[in-house]
Amino acid sequence: MKLKPKITIADHFAQMEDPRIERTKHHQLIDIVTIAICAVICGADTWVGIESYGRAKHQWLKQFLELSNGIPSHDTFARVFARLKPEQFQQCFLDWIKSISHLNEGEVIAIDGKSLRHSYDTGGDKKAIHMVSAWATEQRLVLGQVKVDKKSNEITAIPALIKVLELSGCIVTIDAMGCQKSIVKSIVEQGGDYVITLKKNQPSLYEGVENLFSQAIKQRFTGFTYTAYSLTENIHGREETRNYLMLSELDKHLAPPHEWERLQSIGMVESLRIINGKTTVETRYYISSLPNNAQTFGESVRSHWGIENPLHWVLDVAFREDECRIRKDNAPQNFAILRHISLNLLNQEKTSKTGVKNKRLRAGWDDGYLEKILTISVK
């Protein structure tokens, strides 16, 4: 029988290890995974929703899935994804991403964490899981994600995520939690540049950078190598001006920069906001491996904060991630990967100009549109 449509994404997940014992395998693992991906794209946010989608689309799904025992029950979906190894699911995800994406030179990769608020289990004394994701800001793709170990924090999770990413020619941006020598080193080893927020979790470096900018401004940059860039915006009745400054040739002024891998420049962002006639000023500092170019620095900083709307906000609003009460074993982490797969596919479908939420609705109603989403071609 001719396979129609050819859902190429399934090819990348076919090699996963089935966690079930042989006598309980009433459904093919790839069928379970493929139905789940289709269902989440089309609006399902629970195991019951995934089963309901499967039953409603049984005849369509039979065009390319075996389904010898019909559609799996919601309990089957729940059990399989609770036991499926997240590391394997993640690796399949990464293989698929590499096949459909090509990152441009200078692409900003924003790394940031997000808690799945309702993934906690009070009865089982289980805290909400926290995921760290890498987001390609121009391509609008989740490149990978790792779960923060319950006895650890983002400082240990970020290097694990960076290790599996191809960062050559890219600029990695991270907030102050990522301002660690080990993280900077791991970015450089993977071929990337970095722009990382500096706060008082690195007290001596922070004080040195703060004093250096103060001295440079006081001396009108005499004796300093610097660039400057400004941007003013009016958003929702709020006027905001951002002044970006970069200093380089740090060996002359900042000791010892060699402790931070490929540290070439430091940045300062001064944000002036005018709201209802009241002015507020906020100053932030950054370390970077980039050459001294304040405009590139400013664009990288702005791109980083973009992770909040196209990724975190969309996951909460369009996918209702914070409301999800899936909690058992590996299921929360694996369902997070399902959301990321779905979001990536929906973002890569460019013919519809509606938002992700409406794309999900249309995919559920229109099998032809879903086929288009599922057969995203290699780029």
In the beta sheet, which residues pair with residue 281? 272
Residue 80 placed within a domain: yes
DSSP bridge partners of 111: 134, 174
* Domain count along the chain: 2
Same domain, 142 and 270: yes
Looking at 291, 311, 331, the residue that finishes a domain is 311
Q: Is the peptide bond before 72 cis (omega within 30 degrees of 0)?
A: no
Domain-located, residue 325: no
pLDDT for the residue 152 = 58
Beta-sheet pairing, 171-174 with 108-115: parallel
Residues 6+ apart with CB under 8 A from 351: 372
Same domain for 103 and 75: no
DSSP letter at 51 equals: H
Q: Write down which residue in 256, 282, 311 finishes a domain.
A: 311
Mean pLDDT across 233-238 = 74
- Tell me, yes or no, whether 125 lies in a domain: yes
CA atoms of 275 and 236, how far apart (whole Å): 10
Q: Is residue 342 part of a domain?
A: no
Asked whether residue 379 carries a pLDDT value surpassing 60, the answer given is no
Q: What is the mean pLDDT of residues 190-207?
A: 93
Q: Which residue has the higher pLDDT, 237 or 315?
A: 315
pTM of the model: 0.86
The C-alpha atoms of residue 299 and residue 290 are separated, in whole angstroms, by 12
pLDDT given for residue 268 in this prediction: 97
Length of the chain: 379
The model's pLDDT over 139-185, given as tens digits with 9 standing for 90+, comes to 888 898 887 766 556 788 899 899 988 899 999 999 988 899 999 99
Residue 202 has pLDDT above 80, yes or no: yes
Judgement on whether residues 37 and 66 belong to the same structural domain of the protein: yes
Residue 285 has pLDDT above 90, yes or no: yes
28 is a domain residue = yes
Whether residues 286 and 199 fall in one domain? yes
237 with 361, same domain?
Answer: no
Q: Is the peptide bond before 256 cis (omega within 30 degrees of 0)?
A: yes
Same domain, 246 and 103: yes
Evaluated on CA atoms 311, 315, 321, 327, the torsion sign reads: negative
Tokens 């931070």: give the residue: 260
Q: Which domain holds residue 39?
A: 8-84+349-374
Tokens of 112: 């940031």
